[in-house]
Amino acid sequence: MSRKKIFLTEEKIKHRIEQLGKEISLAYLDQEVMVVGVLKGAFIFMADLVRSLTIPVKVDFVAVSSYGFSSQSSGVVQIIKDTGQSITNKQVLIIEDIVDTGLTLHYLKERFLAREPKEVKICTLLDKPARREVPLKADYVGFVVPDAFLVGYGLDYQEKYRNLRDIFIIEV
């Protein structure tokens, strides 16, 4: 059993998501957005965020693997599941749990842009800028976090802890 320390409570996360929902709804005002969640980590954040949006949304998912079974990035990004709908001419909002090195979203964004969407924006619950390896700026950020390994609320360590309601720092 690894040691965990609470970092963000369920209440804090909920409050921040309500703010993000308002901010994003205002920015898109009556325009339709194609919300694309990055599995698996973003599934809980995405479920809460889309319910805080008051604009028309379509929902899709991609699954990407960049870490394998370790807490260190291999730097290799692999698409395991692509979007089921076309993103051409759509306003795409990618939803991610955490931006770390930036490699995953850098790759995904480039790949999406090649399909000629109207635009591609990024919303991440957590941003760990200290570990960035490629320049990647998210358009909407829930919380800027320190260089520590976080679990809970969708985030895993070796596929565990995704179901925790709060976010914890874990010693790995």
Instruction: State the minimum distance, in angstroms, from the CB of residue 136 to ligand IMP.
Output: 7
Which of these is catalytic: 97, 100, 127, 156? 100
Q: Which one among 27, 101, 121, 129 touches ligand IMP, defined by CB under 6 A?
A: 101
150 binds ligand IMP (CB under 6 A): yes
67 binds ligand IMP (CB under 6 A): yes
CA distances from 147 to 6, 27, 82, 118 (A): 15, 30, 30, 34
Whether 100 sits among the annotated catalytic residues: the reply is: yes
Of 104, 107, 110, 102, nearest to 130 (Cα)?
Answer: 102
Q: Which one among 155, 164, 167, 168 touches ligand IMP, defined by CB under 6 A?
A: 155
- For residue 12, whether the previous peptide bond is cis, meaning omega lies within 30 degrees of 0, is no
Comparing CB distances to ligand IMP, the nearer of 25 and 109 is: 109
Buried b / exposed e over 79-99, threshold 16 CB at 10 Å, is eeeebeeebeebbbbbbbbbb
- Picked from ligand IMP, Mg ion, none, the partner binding residue 52 (CB below 5 to 8 A depending on kind) is none
- Picked from Mg ion, ligand IMP, none, the partner binding residue 155 (CB below 5 to 8 A depending on kind) is ligand IMP
108 binds ligand IMP (CB under 6 A): no
Here's the x/- map for Mg ion, 7-46, by CB under 5 A: it reads as ----------------------------------x-----
Q: Is 97 left (phi over 0), alpha (psi -120 to 50) or beta?
A: alpha
Can you tell me the distance from the alpha carbon of 158 to that of 69, in angstroms, rounded to the nearest whole number? 6
Can you tell me the distance from the alpha carbon of 57 to that of 38, in angstroms, rounded to the nearest whole number? 16
62 binds ligand IMP (CB under 6 A): no
- Picked from ligand IMP, Mg ion, none, the partner binding residue 150 (CB below 5 to 8 A depending on kind) is ligand IMP
CA angle (34 as vertex; 85, 134 as ends), nearest 5: 100
- Helix count (H) and strand count (E) of the chain? 3, 9
Residues near ligand IMP (CB under 6 A) are: 38, 41, 66-67, 73, 96-104, 149-151, 155-156
